[in-house]
Structure 1
Amino acid sequence: MLTLLLIMAMFGQGQSLVLYGNEFITAFPDNVASFYPYVSRNSLNVTALYNDTEVIVYYQGSPLYDTIMFQGQTQNFSLPWDVEESKLNQSLKTVRVVSSRSIVVMSISVKGDSMQTNVLWPYRSLGWTYSIPILSYSGILSTFYQDPQYVSERYKFFRLLVINAVGSTNNITIIRKTQHSETVELQPWAFLQLQLNDSEIAVGGSYKVAVILAHPCMEMTKCHCNMVVNQLSPDGWWGNNFVVPYINNMTWMHVTESCYWPHSTQAAGTLDPIKSGGQHITTTYPSSLRIISPGIIIEVIPEHLFSACYLVHFGLTYGSVLVIAKTALKSDVYIDSKLLVSNNWVTIADTEYSVASVSLNDRHVIWHPTSKIAVYSFRQMASGTPYGSTAVPLSDNPDPAGCLFYPAAFTVVSQPMSWTESYEYCSTYSDELATPSTEISHMALANFLATAESNEYWIGLRRSLFTLDWYWQDGNHSVDFSYMQWSSGQPGDPTMGMCASIFSNMTWNSVSCCNTFMPICYNRPDYFPMK
């Protein structure tokens, strides 16, 4: 079993982390919070990344909501009062979200003046294997307070929620330091809630699972506490280099090394203070690093998983973001369509990075045109205690034009067809026939065809039936004749050809529109809308 889990844990290495998708599952642990007799209010915030996105929210397998959302819209879905689970055992109280197009989902739990949020991981980014951080609750309290608060037996330990992410029976293996492994058969879409006793070091499933670390009532001051949640990342998403931001004067970090990597042992669970301004941490083996503060537990983004742009959403209330960017390029960070202007950039020692805090409300996209960055999102409770998470990465590819959601792409259709058929096909299944009307677009197409077989293809250039002028089918006016790539002796007169083809040597040729060639379809780059 250990060998199998190790192999599955390595699947994520070298990939880009994606936190948007079409299928999500989560569960809500017991929220004691604040010791106040308030009823918890639990909900989901869903942000659509495309127009005409159907979103269905299920609770215990039955649909609660079914709605259509537009691009950039965020909608809150309130959940039943009994969605929280306090019992330590299996439960069917899971919440699933399924959508027709990509969305971002955040869970929200509110009780009294206590609030906690968690960005859900989509199914495609979940894993089979998770190493469990060994966190001593009483030890954490003793680092925050010289005089640790009284801890009841009921809340002396953290809890772990292992959620079956598939509609099939899932065999869950719990690995402990001092005992034999335990295997539990978990029902479809169900979850198992465990009390961690400092002996559990890993959990794995025969199918994908989501794993949440939680505490129902993490003390912040005497007789005041906050529920904390941290959705664990699978071992395959871990890293070796971390740029750690500083949040407040009671911030600590905890490093967990996977128990599966060769010659690696899990960190003993010690807490070390983060230096003012932040710091750089390297580990010998792939690790997970957490920021721990009263009321908050956040996994630090490994440096190799920095992204080009992030989505943050605060609704009508104000919050703040921590932006980490390369010091030499920090003046090029954008918030939506405007440059981030800040005088509080702080250089992080022993790194090429700086960090800045910016106050925001509503929805924003934070991006960099040429470099990768990291973004964390925070709000404050009425007590002043921060809570939050990493922001949602939208794209791994820096682009000068904005937050590039999907890059431009060419496709050669293998079926030869006429120019008119090619135009209709590409308009239906892509955006358009390829239109190399500028030097930049021509070079992009040349790079695409560099490895293609020598051939002749259709492009989106033809003559007007009324004026006989050449024009591009994407709606542009007549060809900019300061840039053209006609073959020798081309274009011929209209009787020789009303449509244009392109050879693999990237020269154009005027030919009859009834000829049959393979079309080159083009998908324009897709950018997330800015405010």
Structure 2
Amino acid sequence: MLTLLLILAISSQGQSLADSGTDFITAFPENVAYFYPVIPDNSLNITALYNDTEVNIYFKRLLKLTIILQQGETGVYLLPSDVEEHKLAVSQKTVNVISNKNVVVLSISMQGESVQTNVVYPSQNLGTFYSIPQLNYGEMLSKFSQATRSISTKYSFFRLLIINPLSLTNEIRIVGKSQIEQFKLQPYTLLQLALNGSEVSVESLNNVAVIVSHPCLEVTSCKCKMMLNQLRPDAHWGQSFILPLLNIPTWLHVTLDTILTESTLDAGTLERIKSGAQSISTIYRASLRLISPGLILEVIPETMFAACYLVHFSVANGNVSVIAETLSSSELYIDRSSLSSISWTPIANTKYSIASVPLQGRHVIWHPSSKIAVYMFHNMTSGIHHGGPAVVLGEKPDPDGCSINLDELTVAPTPMSWAQSHQYCTSTSDELISPSTVTAHSALTEFLRNAADTEHWIGLRRSLLTLDWYWQKGNESEDLMDTQWGAGEPSDPVQGMCASVFSDMTWKSVSCCSQLKAICLKKSVYFPLDSPVEGFLV
């Protein structure tokens, strides 16, 4: 049936979502690892996007630690040894991260050589409807037996974790093929259940986090590897995907949107994919996973490609797979270094190419002009792989670097003189808008299309000494190069020493004492590209 669902690449509309926020919740499912008793090392990597970021970490609703991080700084918090949840029941073993400014969070579960890294989604990226992937353990063992030497059935099912991120009781429904189970989750609690293959979706009154895990999927020589996948809400799915390159036996698993498809549609079968990166699209919205012994990787939909990613390797040997548009692939950067010399492989029937880069430690991968996809993989000495999508820092390409927030334009609430407007904007934002670049001009053009007033102040005025026009950007000035004067403008200096802009982007010289509303600019903030501050243990 699967081949009927997949067609050549088609376009789709969607939204990219950054992984930063101020409110996170997660849990640590059981990680049995290699069949020998080793104390687990479970931790959180928390990286600040702004200076003076206060981070509070809670476990079982109790405050465990408060730390202050500066921009680009990573704190590594080692969690209590009892953080893993083994029981199939309701539990309070949730971990919350609350901060006063945006951070990104990685959870890391280590048991011997079994390592699982997971991007923790901020609460605003959670949802109320999740389709559950039909992960058939028996089928996986049958497929994997071709690539493994020792198979056992110590654990025969996957587990489903549902986490309530709210301070109020949340109503949950688990919809199955023949029945519906209902639960009420208290604030910041989780529910862990065994998946038997009949579950179709998780529906909730308010947002929840949903994780699918397996504590010990058998791999080689009587060893096993934990598998974990935090699900994306169906609303964040796509139809067009570029599969990354994996140099290990890999199978494709498709989950189709249960809202749009009939429950009898067989989309859960594992299909061995051909070697090399490739493009796959679905008729309906879908979630695709690449699965191999010890690895379950949810593929990034093309509509969720972004411009800037953070990768952080907790073991020595790692590599990243980067998917970028072929025509601009030479523009890719890692930190401040251009990757123009790396080897790219075109992906058939697409506009994309793929490259693999060995890395250690923490790095920023970004593209100045187009969106990309980045995956990070840990290569263990045992030959077992794990990995997944990297952390999205910024969504929109920016030639100046890794932009973690976009330029923000706002209109002053009341009309003021030019001098008052300049003071207001510098005190509430960064500057009175000065569209002296192509990017700023385009942003202002788009903004004025929806503006209520037809005329606004901009940061353009004459010099009192020379009468030449210049841009006043905060406390600095910049020479005027290109102009957008309207017909008959600028007028005599006696009539106007300051400038306004109209909805059609034409300028007019105006008396600086005139009363107009100002357009204020809050500039983009960029993530540091210099040598990162190494993570510290707390």
TM exceeding 0.5: yes
Matched residue of 1:175: which SS?
Answer: strand
Counterpart AA for 1:329: S
Closer/same/farther in 2, CA of residues 437 and 250 from structure 1, 3 Å limit: closer
Match of 1:322 in 2: 321
Q: Percent identity?
A: 50
Write out aligned runs for 1:215-226 (5 A).
Answer: 215-226=214-225
Match of 2:46 in 1: 46
Counterpart AA for 1:397: K
Counterpart AA for 2:104: V
| Deviation, structure 1 residue 343 | 4.6
Write out aligned runs for 1:231-380 (5 A).
Answer: 231-263=230-262, 265-267=264-266, 269-314=268-313, 317-380=316-379
Match of 1:193 in 2: 192
8 Å contact 1:138–1:151 — kept in the other structure?
A: no
Please state if 1:17 is matched with 2:9: no
Using structure 1 for the length normalisation, give the TM-score: 0.89
| Deviation, structure 1 residue 469 | 6.6
Deviations 1:242-288 (A, max 9, x none): 21123123211111112221446453532212211122222221111
8 Å contact 1:487–1:509 — kept in the other structure?
A: no
Matched residue of 1:241: which SS?
Answer: strand
Quick one: distance in 2 between partners of 1:38 and 1:489?
77
| Deviation, structure 1 residue 364 | 2.1
Quick one: distance in 2 between partners of 1:86 and 1:467?
76
8 Å contact 2:151–2:218 — kept in the other structure?
A: no
Match of 2:398 in 1: 399
8 Å contact 1:336–1:365 — kept in the other structure?
A: yes
Which runs of 5 or more structure 2 residues have no equivalent in the other structure?
1-11, 531-538
Matched residue of 1:394: which SS?
Answer: strand
| Deviation, structure 1 residue 473 | 3.0
Quick one: distance in 2 between partners of 1:440 and 1:109?
43
Q: Which has the higher contact order (CA 8 A, sep 6+)?
A: 2
8 Å contact 1:323–1:373 — kept in the other structure?
A: yes
8 Å contact 1:31–1:111 — kept in the other structure?
A: yes
Closer/same/farther in 2, CA of residues 142 and 443 from structure 1, 3 Å limit: closer
Counterpart AA for 2:45: N
Matched residue of 1:221: which SS?
Answer: coil
Counterpart AA for 1:124: Q
Closer/same/farther in 2, CA of residues 402 and 382 from structure 1, 3 Å limit: same
| Deviation, structure 1 residue 67 | 1.5
| Deviation, structure 1 residue 25 | 0.6
Match of 1:3 in 2: none
When structure 1 is superposed on structure 2, of 33-42 and 195-204 the one drifting more is 195-204
Closer/same/farther in 2, CA of residues 285 and 252 from structure 1, 3 Å limit: same
Deviations 1:332-362 (A, max 9, x none): 2222233224554223233332211001123
8 Å contact 2:13–2:303 — kept in the other structure?
A: no
Please state if 1:389 is matched with 2:385: no
Counterpart AA for 1:294: P
Deviations 1:93-133 (A, max 9, x none): 10011111111111011111221111111111111111111
| Deviation, structure 1 residue 134 | 1.4
Match of 2:430 in 1: 431
Using structure 2 for the length normalisation, give the TM-score: 0.88
Closer/same/farther in 2, CA of residues 507 and 39 from structure 1, 3 Å limit: same
Match of 2:536 in 1: none
Match of 1:138 in 2: 138
Supply the RMSD in Å over aligned alpha carbons. 2.6
8 Å contact 1:258–1:265 — kept in the other structure?
A: no
Match of 1:118 in 2: 118
Which runs of 5 or more structure 1 residues have no equivalent in the other structure?
1-11
Counterpart AA for 2:284: Y
Aligned residues: 516
Counterpart AA for 2:62: S
8 Å contact 1:176–1:201 — kept in the other structure?
A: yes
Counterpart AA for 1:167: S
Closer/same/farther in 2, CA of residues 182 and 477 from structure 1, 3 Å limit: closer
8 Å contact 1:255–1:267 — kept in the other structure?
A: no
Counterpart AA for 1:90: V
8 Å contact 2:240–2:302 — kept in the other structure?
A: yes
Quick one: distance in 2 between partners of 1:450 and 1:172?
43
Quick one: distance in 2 between partners of 1:186 and 1:122?
19
Match of 1:151 in 2: 152
Matched residue of 1:426: which SS?
Answer: helix
